[in-house]
Chain A
């Protein structure tokens, strides 16, 4: 596989559940990003990892917990979410955070999350 792959594509979870979103890239990139896309709102940057180190946490509630075990994989662990957390969660990658400025990002297709 090439590009950025996100699984699952769709997820419905209750407010008391625990689930995880997975992102995998086969591009040899070293920076990975989580964005939240809600209807009628700009994309919100959530977390940035560069060479497996978290470089940005954009005031995200603790019910969202990221994990980056290596440069190819990024997870978003979810627990006790609220209905307003329902959104499309997008993963992206770039060579590193500096080259993300020069070359832009490669995005996955997203996970559509519904919290009931």
Chain B
């Protein structure tokens, strides 16, 4: 069965600093990996996805993530944080076994300081 672990329930960065949100996954078959963002009082919005093409994936709002099979990781980065990036970020994993279910991590809340 798949699982996903997000390291750090809260991350705080200064405006302009590098954003790094960590995600490790477990899957017995090649995984599909996603990052979603949730702003207050809203649903989740897809940021980016890895589906076995390029290992470095670019998403919306300047975010990118790198799939590293040897480390079973899919960390999310952004070179320079903006105040508007403050939100909760969810890593998710799916595969074609077990009913195509998507399993989400517990989320990491990003705070951006002025």
Contact = CB atoms under 8 A, between A and B. Distances in A.
Contact of B104 (A42, A55, A102): A42
A90 B100 contact: no
Contact of A43 (B9, B41, B95, B104): B104
Interface in A66-85: none
A6 B99 CA distance: 25
Chain A's interface size range is 20 to 34
Contacts of A106: 46
A105 B101 contact: no
Contacts of A109: 41-43
Nearest to B88: A37
B106 A56 contact: no
A104 B43 CA distance: 14
Given A102-B51, A104-B34, A109-B42, A97 B100 contact: yes
A106 B46 CA distance: 7
A17 B45 CA distance: 32
Interface string B84-106: 00000010001110011111111
Interface in A29-50: 35, 40-43, 45, 48
Given A42-B104, A42-B105, A101 B99 contact: no
B99 A55 contact: yes
The CB with the most chain A CB atoms within 10 A, among B42, B99, B105, is that of B99
B82 interface: no
11 contacts: A40-B106, A55-B99, A90-B44, A101-B51, A102-B32, A104-B36, A105-B102, A106-B46, A107-B43, A108-B43, A109-B43
Interface of B: 9, 32, 34, 36, 41-46, 49, 51, 90, 94-96, 99-107
